[in-house]
Amino acid sequence: MAARKSSAKKAGVDKAQREFVAEAEEILERMREDLGELSDQRVAGAEVDPDLVNSIFRSAHSLKGLAGMFGFEGLSELAHRLEDILDGLRLGRIRMDNPAVDLLDEAVTLFTALFTQLGDESYEAEAATRIGELVARIETAAEDPSQPQDSLDPLDIAPMLLRALTEYEEHRLRENISRRRHVLLVDTSFEITAFEEGLSEVSAAIREVGEVVSTLPSPGDAPESQIRFSLLVATETPAADLSARLEFPDTDIKTVLAATAAPAESSAAPQPPVEASAAQSGGAEAAPAETGSGEVPGDGATGKGGARGGDLESLKSISDTVRVDIHKLDKLMNLVGELVIQRSAIARIATRLAADPTTSRIAAELFKTHKGLDRKLKELQASVLDVRMVPLRQIFEKLSRVVRRLQRDQSKDVNLGFSGEATELDKLIVEQLVDPLMHVVRNAFDHAIEGEDERVSAGKSREGNIWIDASQRGNHVVIEVRDDGRGIDPTAVREKAEAAGLVEPGQLLSDKDCLNLIFEAGLSTATGVSGTSGRGVGMDVVRTNLSDLGGIVVVSSEPGRGTAITMTLPITLAIIQTLIVAVGRDRFAIPLNSVLETLLIDASEIQRSERRELLNVRGEPLQLQRLSDEFGLDAPPQDRHYVVVLGLGELRLGLLVDRLDGQQDTVIKSIQGPAAQVRGIAGATELGDRGAVLVIDVSAIVEDSLRRRDAA
Amino acid sequence: MQRILIVEDSATMRSLLASTLEELASPVKVLAASNGFEALRLLPREEFDLVVTDINMPEINGLELVSFVKSNDQYRDIPLIIVSTEGSEKDREKGMQLGADAYVVKPFEPEALREVAQDLLSRNPVAK
Amino acid sequence: MSESMDSNHDTTPEWERLARGAAGGERDVDLEPELQRELLTFQLDGTHYAIAVERVREIIRLREITPMPRVPDCILGVVALRGEIVQVLDLRERLGLASSEPTRRTRIIVLHGEDDRVTGIQVDAVRDVLRVAEQDVDASGDNAGAAVAELCRRDNDFVSIIDLDQVLDFNDG
Residue-wise DSSP of A402-460: HHHHHHHHHT--EEEEEE-TT-EEEHHHHHHHHHHHHHHHHHIIIIISPPHHHHHHTT-
What is the distance in angstroms between the CA of the first residue and the CA of the last residue of chain C?
A: 29
* Whole-number Å distance between alpha carbons of B7 and B66: 11
Average pLDDT, chain A: 76
What is the band of A341 on the pLDDT scale with cuts at 50, 70, 90?
low
- Calculate how close chain A gets to B64, using CA atoms only, in Å: 5
Contact residues for A15 (Cβ-Cβ < 8 A; gap 6+): none
Number of Cβ within a 10 Å radius of residue C99: 10
* Whole-number Å distance between alpha carbons of A503 and A497: 6
Torsion sign (Cα): A109, A115, A121, A124: positive
Q: Regarding predicted confidence, which is higher, A443 or A18?
A: A443
Identify all chain B residues contacting C54, using CB atoms and an 8 Å cutoff.
Answer: 45-46
* Whole-number Å distance between alpha carbons of A546 and C121: 35
Residue type, A38: L
Closest CA to A598 of A664, A661, A665, A660: A660
- Calculate how close chain A gets to C154, using CA atoms only, in Å: 26
Q: Averaged over B39-56, what is the pLDDT? A: 88
Contact A164 B66 (CB under 8 A): yes
- Cα→Cα distances A205→A236, A246, A247, Å: 14, 7, 10
B-contacting chains (≥3 CB pairs under 8 Å):
A, C
ipTM of the assembly? 0.80
Identify all chain C residues contacting A224, using CB atoms and an 8 Å cutoff.
Answer: 30-31, 33
Contact C35 B47 (CB under 8 A): yes
Identify all chain A residues contacting C75, using CB atoms and an 8 Å cutoff.
Answer: 673-675
DSSP state of B112: H
Contact B87 A69 (CB under 8 A): no
pLDDT of residue A529: 40
Domain residue extents for chain C: 7-167
Search chain A and give the residue with CA nearest B94: A163
Q: Is the pLDDT of residue C24 over 50?
A: no
Partner residue facing A672 (CB), from C30, C63, C85: C85
Cβ under 8 Å to B: C residues 10-69: 24, 35, 54
Q: Regarding predicted confidence, which is higher, A2 or A670?
A: A670
Q: Is the pLDDT of residue A413 over 80?
A: yes
Q: Is the pLDDT of residue A677 over 70?
A: yes
* Whole-number Å distance between alpha carbons of A82 and A100: 9
Partner residue facing B64 (CB), from A69, A80, A164: A164
CB pairs under 8 A between A and C: 105
CA atoms within a 13 Å half-sphere pointing along the CA-CB vector of A485: 33
Search chain C and give the residue with CA nearest A675: C71
Q: Are C39 and C150 in contact (CB under 8 A)?
A: no
Contact residues for A455 (Cβ-Cβ < 8 A; gap 6+): A449, A461, A462, A464
CATH fold, domain A575-711, is OB fold (Dihydrolipoamide Acetyltransferase, E2P) (2.40.50)
Query: Exposed, middle or buried: residue C114 (CB in 10 Å: 0-12, 13-18, 19+)?
Result: exposed
Q: Is the pLDDT of residue A236 over 70?
A: yes
* Whole-number Å distance between alpha carbons of A532 and A522: 16
Contact A69 B16 (CB under 8 A): yes
Domain residue extents for chain B: 2-123
DSSP codes joined into one string, A359-396: GHHHHHHHHHHHHHHHHHHHHHHHHHHHHHEEETHHHH
Residue type, A328: K
- Cα→Cα distances A618→A608, A615, A642, Å: 17, 9, 16
Q: Are C163 and C111 in contact (CB under 8 A)?
A: no
Identify all chain B residues contacting A160, using CB atoms and an 8 Å cutoff.
Answer: 67, 71
User: Residues C154, C160, C161, CA angle at the centre, nearest 5°?
Assistant: 105
C-contacting chains (≥3 CB pairs under 8 Å):
A, B
Identify all chain C residues contacting B41, using CB atoms and an 8 Å cutoff.
Answer: 24
- Calculate how close chain A gets to C32, using CA atoms only, in Å: 9
pLDDT of residue A308: 38
Q: Which CATH class is domain A392-570?
A: alpha beta
- Calculate how close chain A gets to B94, using CA atoms only, in Å: 6
Domain C7-167 coded CATH 3.40.50.150 = no
Q: Are A563 and A464 in contact (CB under 8 A)?
A: no
DSSP state of C103: -
Contact residues for A20 (Cβ-Cβ < 8 A; gap 6+): A66, A69, A70, B12
Search chain B and give the residue with CA nearest C35: B47
- Cα→Cα distances A523→A155, A526, A562, A695, Å: 73, 5, 20, 31
State pLDDT tens for residues A87-140: 877 777 777 777 777 788 888 888 887 777 666 666 667 777 777 787 777 777
DSSP state of A629: H
Closest CA to B47 of C34, A501, A491: C34
Best of A344, A672, A678, A695 to disrupt the C interface by mutation (most C CBs within 10 Å)? A672
What is the band of A274 on the pLDDT scale with cuts at 50, 70, 90?
very low
Whether residue C165 lies within 8 A of chain B, CB to CB, comes out as yes
Q: Are B81 and B103 in contact (CB under 8 A)?
A: yes
Write down the H helix ranges in chain B.
11-22, 36-42, 62-70, 89-98, 110-123
Cβ under 8 Å to B: A residues 662-691: none
Identify all chain A residues contacting C71, using CB atoms and an 8 Å cutoff.
Answer: 675, 678
Residue type, A671: I
Contact C31 A225 (CB under 8 A): yes
Contact B63 A19 (CB under 8 A): no
- Calculate how close chain C gets to B14, using CA atoms only, in Å: 13
Best of A61, A87, A189, A232 to disrupt the B interface by mutation (most B CBs within 10 Å)? A61
Contact C80 A338 (CB under 8 A): no
Instruction: State which H helix or E strand residue A192 sits in.
Output: none
* Whole-number Å distance between alpha carbons of A696 and B105: 48
B81: β partners: B52, B102
Identify all chain C residues contacting B29, using CB atoms and an 8 Å cutoff.
Answer: 165
- Cα→Cα distances A388→A328, A570, A578, Å: 11, 13, 20
How many separate helices (H) and strands (E) can be counted in chain C?
A: 3, 11
Q: Are A523 and A502 in contact (CB under 8 A)?
A: yes
User: What helix, strand, coil percent values describe chain A, rounded to 5?
Assistant: 50, 25, 30
pLDDT of residue A292: 38
**Which of 3.40.50.2300, 2.60.40.2480, 3.30.160.60, 3.40.50.620 would CATH assign to domain B2-123?**
3.40.50.2300
Residue type, A106: E
CA–centroid distance for B98 within its chain: 14
- Calculate how close chain C gets to A29, using CA atoms only, in Å: 25
Highest average pLDDT, of A27-31, A258-262, C74-78, comes from C74-78
* Whole-number Å distance between alpha carbons of A679 and A683: 10
- Calculate how close chain A gets to C118, using CA atoms only, in Å: 6
Closest CA to C106 of C87, C85, C92, C96: C92
A182: β partners: A235
Contact A224 C169 (CB under 8 A): no
User: Residues A427, A431, A435, CA angle at the centre, nearest 5°?
Assistant: 155
State pLDDT tens for residues A153-183: 666 777 777 778 887 888 888 888 877 888 8
pLDDT of residue A191: 82
Query: Exposed, middle or buried: residue B67 (CB in 10 Å: 0-12, 13-18, 19+)?
Result: buried
Identify all chain A residues contacting B10, using CB atoms and an 8 Å cutoff.
Answer: 23, 62, 65-66
pLDDT of residue A166: 81
pLDDT of residue A524: 52
**Which of 1.20.120.160, 3.40.920.10, 3.40.50.300, 3.90.1150.10 would CATH assign to domain A2-146?**
1.20.120.160
DSSP state of C172: T
Q: Is the pLDDT of residue A326 over 90?
A: no
Whether residue A159 lies within 8 A of chain B, CB to CB, comes out as no
Best of B7, B8, B12 to disrupt the A interface by mutation (most A CBs within 10 Å)? B12
Q: Are A460 and A560 in contact (CB under 8 A)?
A: no
pLDDT of residue A663: 81
Q: Averaged over A327-355, what is the pLDDT? A: 77
DSSP state of C30: P
Contact B85 A65 (CB under 8 A): yes
Contact A166 B98 (CB under 8 A): no
Whether residue A195 lies within 8 A of chain B, CB to CB, comes out as yes
- Calculate how close chain A gets to C173, using CA atoms only, in Å: 11
Closest CA to A664 of A326, A331, A348: A348
Q: Are B113 and B104 in contact (CB under 8 A)?
A: yes
Q: Averaged over C43-61, what is the pLDDT? A: 88
- Calculate how close chain C gets to A711, using CA atoms only, in Å: 21
Phi then psi for C101, rounded to 5 degrees?
Answer: -75, 145
At A265, is the secondary structure helix, strand, or coil? coil
Query: Exposed, middle or buried: residue A25 (CB in 10 Å: 0-12, 13-18, 19+)?
Result: middle
pLDDT of residue A523: 65
Q: Are A205 and A188 in contact (CB under 8 A)?
A: no
* Whole-number Å distance between alpha carbons of A100 and A88: 11
What is the band of C151 on the pLDDT scale with cuts at 50, 70, 90?
confident
Stretch among A409-413, A528-532, A578-582, B65-69 having the lowest mean pLDDT: A528-532
Stretch among A116-125, B3-12, C123-132 having the lowest mean pLDDT: A116-125
* Whole-number Å distance between alpha carbons of B79 and B76: 8
Closest CA to A28 of A3, A62, A5: A62
Contact residues for A329 (Cβ-Cβ < 8 A; gap 6+): A384, A387, A388
- Calculate how close chain C gets to A193, using CA atoms only, in Å: 7
Identify all chain A residues contacting B11, using CB atoms and an 8 Å cutoff.
Answer: 19, 23
Q: Is the pLDDT of residue B126 over 50?
A: no
Best of A331, A335, A671 to disrupt the C interface by mutation (most C CBs within 10 Å)? A671
State pLDDT tens for residues A501-518: 777 777 777 787 788 888
Which CATH number applies to A159-279?
A: 3.30.70.260
